[in-house]
Structure 1
Amino acid sequence: MKKLKGLLLLSLASYSLQAQSFIPAYQTRANQVTQTNITNLLQDFANLGVKTTGSTANTNTLNWLKAKYQTFGYDASQISEDIFTYGSTTSKNLVITKTGTVYPNIYVIICGHYDTITGPGVSDNGSGTSILLEAARILKDVPTEYSVKFIHFSGEEQGLVGSTHYVNNVVFSNNVRQLNLKVVFNIDQVGGKITNPSNTIVCESDQSSAGGTANNAPSLAMTQQLANCTTLYSPLQTTMSNAYASDYVPFEAKGDIITGFYETPVSGNQHTANDTFANIDPTYVFNVGKAAVGALQHFAVASSVLGTKESDSNKLESIKIYPNPAKDVLNVEIPSNIRNFSVEINDMSGKLISAFENERKINVSKLSKGVYMCTVKSDGEAITKKVIIDK
């Protein structure tokens, strides 16, 4: 995401919110976002390096994304590439389409960019990328009334090049609209900051005159719905703000309705070599993921009845590991129905430091000051959380 422009944070209480009903099936699916999956995706994204548009790392990331969708069960007819040029280089947007049952020709777009500038860009925008992947995995076989497009844009950091190309050549062709859009839901830089944990997410709406003002009120209404879904299906609180220079802007300029998520407080690591896995808050990304899955179901009108293959969340997700930061002892609070479990402490490179069986008080007094990953495993399931050791 670009440097923020004209940021205006407004209390959600300033708006008259229309009540939305809580749908248990939506919560069940939101709970299927797992901390382990989010953490693994963020680490994988980090390991792919600096993903400058048109670079080998950028192409490798595109191929990694495609492989993920194939693993989820999306077939070749659902996966497409939108090729564009930037200067002397070529890059691609990745588009995955899930067809709606009632309105197959009206689309909900959920999007985020995967290119970076200086560093690996784990917050900007590995965080949004990871959430899109989790949402697509969970909703793969869930009927939705509206069609959904999961779009991973490249070229965002060079001035919204990829998303502008997509709008001008796919959504429109020769200035004639080809795709009817219900809403564009953009997720950019929601990694948080490990040294300053947050329980609030910014919900963004169109408050500009770009492309006219007719889409401003519908955007605000849609963003109110996004905020409602956030508080319904995640533990996060919400703050309202204007939209910035991210991939929803080309859609906004053509009159489409936009909304989006952005972190608060801003980490300040974006566009630097410090935008690494070690500096983000994976728990924050996990909670934003739950909010996003809840909101996406609402926007696309997902089935309110659970399918026979749908299950509830990983039973380990309720585990608490504290204090964090810790000094000498790390407590692992395990649900009473879990009798056998293991705990592993790894450094940020993945090296195993220590392992324990069925221990709820972990001695960390000999660990050096720094950030570690604590993984709890039981009956084939696992949960990983980042912990800070502070002497």
Structure 2
Amino acid sequence: MKKITTLLLFSLGTYAFQAQSFIQAYQNRANLVTQSNITTLLQEFGNLGVKTTGSTANTNALNWLKAKYQSYGYTASQIVEDPFTFGSSTSSKNLIITKTGTVYPNTYVIICGHYDTITGPGVSDNGSGTSIILEAARILKDIPTEYSIKFIHFSGEEQGLQGSAHYVNSVVFQNSVRQLNIKLVFNLDQVGGKIGNSNVAINCESDQSGQTGNNAASLSVTQQLAACTTLYSPLQTVMSNAYSSDYMPFEAKGDIITGFYETVRSYNEHTVNDTFANVDPTYVFNVGKAAVGALQHFATASTSLLATDEKAVNHLESVKVYPNPTKDFLNIELPKDVKNFSLEISDMNGRLILNKENETKVNVSGLTNGTYIATIKTKDQKAVRKVIIGK
């Protein structure tokens, strides 16, 4: 995916007239995005290899996605494969998961991103968006929303938006007749950042070209997206233009689009460097919180504090592991109520390298340079962090 680089920076005050009121239930659910889940999903996505559309790895990624939704409790009737073919013989599938709304069941908020990659494993482009969509689906599964939500994972994006174009032209429309009433399309593409960059802001994309009739509406929902981002995440916002990703076939048919894209561009996309080692999981985690907050606003989620929201939060998620990158020692800062814990450090192949009990300052000077996974465990909770060793 390529993006234009001319951006317009707006303070929140610029679009404060459209800012949403803070809703505690929305914040509670945004807080259910966990760093451990995001880190694990990014790593698993990377381990699936180069997921070129039509390849075995691409099919494996589809099956991995399906298994995730099944583990979240989505039923077979909610999980639909959408096959398509392009060129002479390239075939792949989109994956669509539908959560039915309580008031407007036939009007859909679409949250989408592509899972195909080229050249590298594509952990940022677009394992990052893929991971966030999975977390949003997990968290909102049993939360009533007035509008229906479709969680869509497109393939064929890297070959020219093939999967999303097929979906729009063959499912949303059939014989040029609209079949689905879409409230808006919220696209997530390349929101992984890069370790070492200042990943404190996110681009909020609106449609200011193409079909002019939907430009004003796109700007409005993107202003709402930016406002939700500042309400439910620590990220700053940058207003940007939509360009060359899976929301564009929808835009061409007059639908309202918005999206997220990393602000400080990594430039690892479409290269062998788009790996787990180079992505910033904390940035993806923060974008995930913003996305879950905004998706609730767009779909009009329940504002009540439901039992689902009151599940015990994993307090171990607040653990701090620093410095990162590190050379000789790794400090573990735990919540005050945690007394007994273990630290496991594994390499990228899952091989256990180091195992310590109740040590808050760990000597890692014997580890070679590279990326590792640190897992902090108590009796019933765990937290996962990416750790970089650099001498």
CA distance, structure 1, for counterparts of residue 76 and residue 70 of structure 2: 8
CA distance, structure 2, for counterparts of residue 75 and residue 289 of structure 1: 24
Counterpart in the other structure of 2:151: 150
CA distance, structure 1, for counterparts of residue 179 and residue 284 of structure 2: 34
Matched ranges for 1:286-325 at <5 A = 286-310=285-309, 311-325=311-325
Post-superposition Cα deviations, 1:310-334, rounded to whole Å, max 9, x if no partner, equal 3253211211111222232221111
Aligned amino acid, residue 332 of structure 2: V
Counterpart in the other structure of 1:135: 136
Aligned amino acid, residue 121 of structure 2: P
The two structures have a TM-score, normalised by structure 2, of 0.96
Mind listing any 5+ residue stretches in structure 2 that lack a counterpart? none
Matched ranges for 1:371-386 at <5 A = 371-386=371-386
Mind listing any 5+ residue stretches in structure 1 that lack a counterpart? none
Matched ranges for 1:345-360 at <5 A = 345-360=345-360
CA distance, structure 1, for counterparts of residue 198 and residue 189 of structure 2: 18
Post-superposition Cα deviations, 1:332-360, rounded to whole Å, max 9, x if no partner, equal 11111112111122222222221211121
More displaced, 148-157 or 271-280? Answer: 271-280
Cα offset, 1:13, TM superposition: 4.9
Cα offset, 1:76, TM superposition: 1.3
Counterpart in the other structure of 1:388: 388
Aligned amino acid, residue 316 of structure 1: L
Structure 1 position 231 matched with structure 2 position 221: no
Equivalent residues of 1:28, 1:313 under 8 A apart: no
CA distance, structure 2, for counterparts of residue 215 and residue 31 of structure 1: 33
Matched ranges for 1:56-135 at <5 A = 56-87=56-87, 88-135=89-136
Change in CA separation of 1:327 and 1:6 when aligned onto 2, cut-off 3 Å: closer
CA distance, structure 2, for counterparts of residue 353 and residue 197 of structure 1: 30
Change in CA separation of 1:156 and 1:295 when aligned onto 2, cut-off 3 Å: same
Cα offset, 1:115, TM superposition: 0.7
Cα offset, 1:10, TM superposition: 2.8
CA distance, structure 2, for counterparts of residue 202 and residue 45 of structure 1: 23
Counterpart in the other structure of 1:179: 180
CA distance, structure 2, for counterparts of residue 16 and residue 36 of structure 1: 33
Counterpart in the other structure of 1:246: 245
Structure 1 position 344 matched with structure 2 position 344: yes
Secondary structure at the aligned position of 2:97 is classed as strand
CA distance, structure 1, for counterparts of residue 340 and residue 5 of structure 2: 53
More displaced, 180-189 or 30-39? Answer: 30-39
**Cα RMSD for the two superposed structures:** 1.5
Aligned amino acid, residue 134 of structure 2: L
Aligned amino acid, residue 191 of structure 1: G
The two structures have a TM-score, normalised by structure 1, of 0.96
Equivalent residues of 2:7, 2:240 under 8 A apart: yes
Equivalent residues of 1:345, 1:374 under 8 A apart: yes
Equivalent residues of 1:38, 1:282 under 8 A apart: yes
Equivalent residues of 2:329, 2:365 under 8 A apart: yes
CA distance, structure 2, for counterparts of residue 364 and residue 120 of structure 1: 28
Secondary structure at the aligned position of 2:51 is classed as coil
CA distance, structure 2, for counterparts of residue 313 and residue 245 of structure 1: 38
Matched ranges for 1:187-266 at <5 A = 187-208=188-209, 210-211=210-211, 213-266=212-265
Secondary structure at the aligned position of 2:15 is classed as coil
The count of corresponding residues between Structure 1 and Structure 2 is 388
Structure 1 position 163 matched with structure 2 position 164: yes
Cα offset, 1:281, TM superposition: 0.9
Aligned amino acid, residue 117 of structure 1: I
More displaced, 193-202 or 246-255? Answer: 193-202
Secondary structure at the aligned position of 1:349 is classed as coil
Equivalent residues of 1:184, 1:259 under 8 A apart: yes
CA distance, structure 2, for counterparts of residue 32 and residue 19 of structure 1: 23
More displaced, 345-354 or 335-344? Answer: 345-354
CA distance, structure 1, for counterparts of residue 190 and residue 257 of structure 2: 17
